[in-house]
Structure 1
């Protein structure tokens, strides 16, 4: 097991360098640069374009250098000082914006994943062991509804229902009076009043597909000879189900940890815009549209690194759950 983990850790380093290069190249693909976008915005607003000022901005942000030099400077600053550069749009260090947004996004995403599994695992097991029963048909119908209804539409409907029934407008993580207040018991209670809605939306939409996957894999395991043997030996049915079939049936769920976080973040983009959440999704969209390459590149790099780390965690968990994978 130790050699397995060591191999995965050694593979992580070159992949991180490759991901950083791809992230930087992707941000460079759109034609023009932030300076061109800045010029167009000035002209659209009827402002005066100062060529000397634009040239100074180009030199300041290193946009006059070749792409390979820009990448070398960018990665060198990240490795040496943790400096991701300055945001063109916000005129602030990218590291400060990352520190504000990434922990919130990761926290919401992890909680959403936990709630997804809390909902999906029991319902998936029930749907499989009660195959073709009324429970199976009801859960299948609800799963199809969850797969077909967009997350942002579910968020809007729930916001409307909560507001019409209680008068409470669930938007953002905090109410206006707590936005800039220091953390306290009252602010934490206010957070709980607001965070349940995005967690519910993300968990419900994520659980719909997970229930179907778990049902299919568990049905396949229940047909195997070792289950028949366990029943023939007189083991209790709950132990027959939970001892090995469920343990092996959740392998697809564990193996998707690597891309589940960015998938939740991708779904969180529209939900965050609807619910006014201060997370990564909306700011990635704004940075991309403004060609704010340092900010967009840093977010792409962070999310890609989280994907690689999540893949490492899923590999280790799979090797622990299923010894066959170690070989």
Structure 2
């Protein structure tokens, strides 16, 4: 197992290099650069920047250099933790995005927790009560969850929480706790602002995982080893929880690992609508302004999160199913 983990970690290095190259190339595909976008924005607002000034700035920031040169200047800083320089925010990239990365990771972890806590028990209930009223009702709710986009749920929560209940529903903290020292009241307020976006992000995937869990349970319950366990006189609860559930969790764990990039991409709209400090709004802004190092850093970190989540999923599968052996 240790050898497998080491090989997977070593394999991530060339994969991340390839991903960084492709991501950087895609970001560079649109015509122009950050200064071209800045010139256009200033032109529409009545200001302006001459082509001579723009060319001097391009030479200063290295925007007039070749694609490979710019890419090499970016990646050579990775071993030192340097992810480049943001032209728009005139700051190094990592200090600019690190707080948003940690918040997005926390929000994603809470969303995954919501998915598991809701989808697994509901999927088990639907499978063990097939075609019952409860199963039908849960299926309807699942299809609604799949069809309603997350940003619409966020708007609904803003109306219910902000208008009807008169709650502070925007941002990650209430105004009175911003820039204050840590306290239990501040921690509780942080939690109250964290769970609505976590639930909203997790609901669509919860519906999908619930159906996967239900179908996996129905498939396992019809297999011979379940019939044998029942014939031996084992209690139904033990047959379901110890044998059927454990095997049915395999596809759920596999799909759950693939939900990580979906959560991050969905957080763009959620972050804009609910004004929470996820990576989404800043990533969107960097793409619009062609702030290439910020956008490239976000894509690279999201790819790293996907690779790590797949490694964790493989380890969980080996723990859940003894038939899976990694050498």
- TM normalised by structure 1 equals 0.95
Asked whether the equivalents of residues 37 and 289 of structure 2 are also in contact (C-alpha less than 8 Å), the reply is yes
2:120 aligns to what SS in structure 1?
Answer: helix
1:244 aligns to what SS in structure 2?
Answer: helix
**Displacement of 1:7 after TM fit?**
2.9
Deviations 1:282-322 (A, max 9, x none): 11111001100010000000111111111111112112222
What residue in structure 2 maps to residue 73 of structure 1?
73
**Displacement of 1:27 after TM fit?**
1.1
**Displacement of 1:76 after TM fit?**
0.4
Question: Take 1:44 and 1:97, find their aligned partners in 2: how far apart are those partners?
Answer: 27
2:115 aligned with 1:130, yes or no?
no
The answer to which of 117-126 and 26-35 deviates more is: 26-35
What residue in structure 1 maps to residue 104 of structure 2?
105
**Displacement of 1:141 after TM fit?**
0.9
What residue in structure 2 maps to residue 232 of structure 1?
231
What residue in structure 1 maps to residue 213 of structure 2?
214
**Displacement of 1:102 after TM fit?**
0.1
Q: Give the unaligned 5+ runs of structure 2.
A: none
2:93 aligned with 1:91, yes or no?
no
Q: Aligned pairs, how many?
A: 326
2:324 aligns to what SS in structure 1?
Answer: helix
The answer to which of 110-119 and 316-325 deviates more is: 316-325
2:142 aligned with 1:147, yes or no?
no
What residue in structure 2 maps to residue 292 of structure 1?
291
The answer to which of 281-290 and 310-319 deviates more is: 310-319
Deviations 1:123-173 (A, max 9, x none): 010001111111111110111111111111112112212234421131111
What residue in structure 2 maps to residue 26 of structure 1?
26
2:65 aligns to what SS in structure 1?
Answer: coil
The answer to which of 27-36 and 164-173 deviates more is: 164-173
Asked whether the equivalents of residues 102 and 280 of structure 1 are also in contact (C-alpha less than 8 Å), the reply is yes
The answer to which of 284-293 and 17-26 deviates more is: 17-26
Deviations 1:243-295 (A, max 9, x none): 12211211122113433221111111111111111110111111001100010
Asked whether the equivalents of residues 205 and 259 of structure 2 are also in contact (C-alpha less than 8 Å), the reply is no
Asked whether the equivalents of residues 171 and 276 of structure 1 are also in contact (C-alpha less than 8 Å), the reply is yes
What residue in structure 2 maps to residue 301 of structure 1?
300
2:193 aligned with 1:194, yes or no?
yes
Asked whether the equivalents of residues 159 and 169 of structure 1 are also in contact (C-alpha less than 8 Å), the reply is no
Question: Take 1:47 and 1:308, find their aligned partners in 2: how far apart are those partners?
Answer: 45
Asked whether the equivalents of residues 257 and 313 of structure 1 are also in contact (C-alpha less than 8 Å), the reply is no
2:82 aligns to what SS in structure 1?
Answer: coil
2:16 aligned with 1:8, yes or no?
no
Question: Take 1:197 and 1:126, find their aligned partners in 2: how far apart are those partners?
Answer: 25
2:90 aligns to what SS in structure 1?
Answer: coil
1:152-171 map, 5 Å = 152-171=151-170
Shift >4 Å, 4+ stretches: none
Q: Give the unaligned 5+ runs of structure 1.
A: none
Q: Quick one: structure 1 residues 9 and 257, their matched pair in 2 at CA, closer, same or farther if it must change by over 3 Å?
A: farther
Asked whether the equivalents of residues 110 and 261 of structure 1 are also in contact (C-alpha less than 8 Å), the reply is no
What residue in structure 1 maps to residue 248 of structure 2?
249
1:172-191 map, 5 Å = 172-191=171-190
**Displacement of 1:206 after TM fit?**
2.2
2:55 aligns to what SS in structure 1?
Answer: helix
What residue in structure 2 maps to residue 283 of structure 1?
282
Question: Take 2:256 and 2:16, find their aligned partners in 1: how far apart are those partners?
Answer: 18
Deviations 1:96-125 (A, max 9, x none): 112121000000111110111101110010
